[in-house]
Amino acid sequence: MDSKKNILIVDDSAMIIDRLELMLKGLENVQSVARAGTYSDALSMINQNLPDVAILDINLPDKSGIELLRHIRREHDSMIVIMLTNQGDEYYRNLCTLWGAQHFLDKSTEFEKVPVIISSMN
């Protein structure tokens, strides 16, 4: 049984995506890392490739990452969602948890937790 994960990173910052991709590609349980900079691109990639894990920013240029989270929960409930955002206050944390995000991380203080979370997945 192959437990390697296909991961989609959704963020409008190429620098953030590059850094995450570098951190994740070296992990033993990561098969592939895809990237999207907008809600629309992410939606297309999710529907075509159905990743195991989605790492979402809240602030996207065309629509909120929270809307993407809601779509994922409606259409692909088994997908693991990690919210990684600069909007780290309790309001957004509670909202994302309510909509089914398994993890909520503040980019400024918890960025390094992403590979730890991914590594711990079976």
**For 48-98, what is each residue's pLDDT tens digit?**
999 999 999 999 999 999 999 999 999 999 999 999 999 989 999 999 999
% pLDDT > 90, the chain: 93
Q: What are the two backbone dihedrals, phi and then psi, of residue 35, each rounded to the nearest 5 degrees?
A: -135, 145
**Model pLDDT, residue 3:** 84
pTM of the model: 0.95
User: CB of 114 within 8 A of CB of 20?
Assistant: yes
Instruction: Name the packing angle between helices 39-49 and 65-75 (round to 10°).
Output: 20
What's the pLDDT band for 122 if we cut at 50, 70, 90?
confident
- Give the domain ranges of the chain: 1-58+73-79+87-106
CATH class of segment(s) 1-58+73-79+87-106: alpha beta
First to last CA, the chain: 11
pLDDT of 2 above 80: no
Report the pLDDT averaged over residues 3-14: 96
| Average model confidence (pLDDT) across the chain | 95
